[in-house]
Amino acid sequence: QLQLQESGPGLVRPSETLSLTCTVSSGSISSSPYYWGWIRQSPGKGLEWIGSIYYSGRTYYNPSLKSRLTISVDTPKDQFSLDLSSVTAADTAVYYCARHKAPSSAITAVGQNWFDPWGQGTLVTVSS
């Protein structure tokens, strides 16, 4: 059964970069047509899709975060990562990684997208 596990610092200083890694186990990150996504949840903004990446490195980002966001993939390690720069208190949230079922190698192609399964989530607090 596919499992995902987030890892990274639980505390990040304002203006610094938030970095998280998701490790996929009991499955391959190179499976098609699956993307790998990041979603966060905060009391103020609820659930927010951050972005998704294909094993080839193709990415889709939420425009609201795009200027600060980098998502990358390491296929030999079955890992993908999130870097969010210039963080503020508004970036405090529980961050989840999830497998993103896409209609094809392009998530904007005609067809359904969904997130399943999810990692357990990791709380990241932005504070000095």
Whole-number minimum distance, CB 77 to other proteins, in Å? 22
Whole-number minimum distance, CB 39 to other proteins, in Å? 8
118 to each of 23, 89, 109, 122, how far by Cα in Å? Answer: 11, 24, 23, 11
Q: What are phi and psi of 91, to 5 degrees?
A: -90, 0
> 5, 7, 19, 62: which one contacts other proteins (CB under 8 A)?
62
**What part of residues 72-101 is at the interface with other proteins (CB under 8 A)?**
96, 98, 101
Whole-number minimum distance, CB 124 to other proteins, in Å? 15
List the one residue out of 64, 60, 43 whose CA is nearest residue 51.
Answer: 60
Cα 24 to Cα 100: distance, rounded to the nearest angstrom: 13
Site string for other proteins, 29-48 (x = CB under 8 A): -----------------xxx
Cα 103 to Cα 126: distance, rounded to the nearest angstrom: 35
Binding-site ranges for other proteins (CB under 8 A)? 46-49, 60, 62-64, 96, 98, 101, 107-108, 112-121
